[in-house]
Structure 1
Amino acid sequence: MEIWINPGCSKCRSALSILDAESADYKVRRYLEDPPSPDELRAVLARLGLEPWDITRTGEPVAAELGLDAWPRDPDARERWIAALSAHPILIQRPIITADDGRTVIGRTEEAVRGTLPGQDAVRGTLPG
């Protein structure tokens, strides 16, 4: 299992606490220090069943600097969004957890995090909390 985190994020710390309490075997990726490539983002988006704008933190200052609110959200703009997320990883919603079997969630709730554990059903592509 791999979890993409920002250590300063309370949702990330909460997800790690849940995984630790369940004795889950996981690898931490501090994605601000080790940003995902466009190919990695495409793969994660495919597993999530989401588009790049769905996992973009539009409230971040860099989002305003880039003018993301005015960017189209359509297939023609998809690669532009992916490039922005790769270049500015602070824009990526977190934490993103990929289980060993490929199930991937945005772990903003306890239910979503637990859904990545063996024998559990993943809460695919949801962004609650």
Structure 2
Amino acid sequence: MQHITIYHNPNCGTSRNTLAFIKHQGIEPTVIHYLENPPTEPTLRDLIAKMGITPRQLLRVNVEPFSERGLDNPNLTDDDIIQAMLAEPILINRPIVVAENGKKQGVKLCRPSEVVLDLIDMPLTQTFVKEDGEKIEPKS
């Protein structure tokens, strides 16, 4: 049985769609509301490493703390960015999905939400309709 964990923000449409995608596939994931329960520094570093991205690539730029903290400065180090994310979890882009104990394992930033299908063992067999009405069809 595949185990899925989603770092979720219920106020985010992409995060809600990703969670719905997972449930649509018959999986009841572990949901971490990361704004209330942010990852620890070792966990955040591990997630970034497993995604194969840089901290800057995980950084949300369209939220107030981004400009307030001067995070557009290209001279900031990865450590500077990680510390800012730990201090203000809203700076962590979402949703992050972790898949374990299945044929497909890994960690991905699921933007757009259908990226989650890359982590789920079973193929999409029924049309999924996103909140905005966009349909994701099974591949033939």
Q: Distance in 1 between the 2:15 and 2:74 partners?
A: 28
* 1:48 and 2:51 aligned: yes
Q: Partner of 1:93 in structure 2?
A: 93
Deviation at 1:25, TM superposition (A): 3.2
Calculate the aligned-residue CA RMSD, in Å.
1.5
Q: Provide the secondary structure at the position in 2 that maps to 1:68.
A: coil
Q: How many residues align?
A: 117
Tell me if structure 1 keeps the 8 A contact 2:97–2:109: yes
When Rg is computed on C-alpha atoms for both structures, the one with the higher figure is: 2
Which structure dedicates a bigger proportion of its chain to strand? 2
- After TM superposition, the structure 1 stretch with the greater mean CA deviation from structure 2, 30-39 or 94-103, is 94-103
Q: Distance in 2 between the 1:68 and 1:118 partners?
A: 37
Structure 1's consecutive aligned runs of 4 or more residues displaced over 4 angstroms after TM superposition are none
Deviation at 1:109, TM superposition (A): 2.2
What are structure 2's unaligned runs of at least 5 residues?
A: 124-140
Matches within 5 A, 1:1-129: 1-72=4-75, 77-101=77-101, 102-118=105-121
Which structure dedicates a bigger proportion of its chain to helix? 1
Q: Distance in 2 between the 1:83 and 1:63 partners?
A: 12
Q: Normalised by the size of structure 2, how large is the TM-score?
A: 0.78
- For residues 52-96 of structure 1, the C-alpha deviation after alignment (integer angstroms, 9 at most, x for no partner) is 1101011210111101011425xxx11111111111110111100
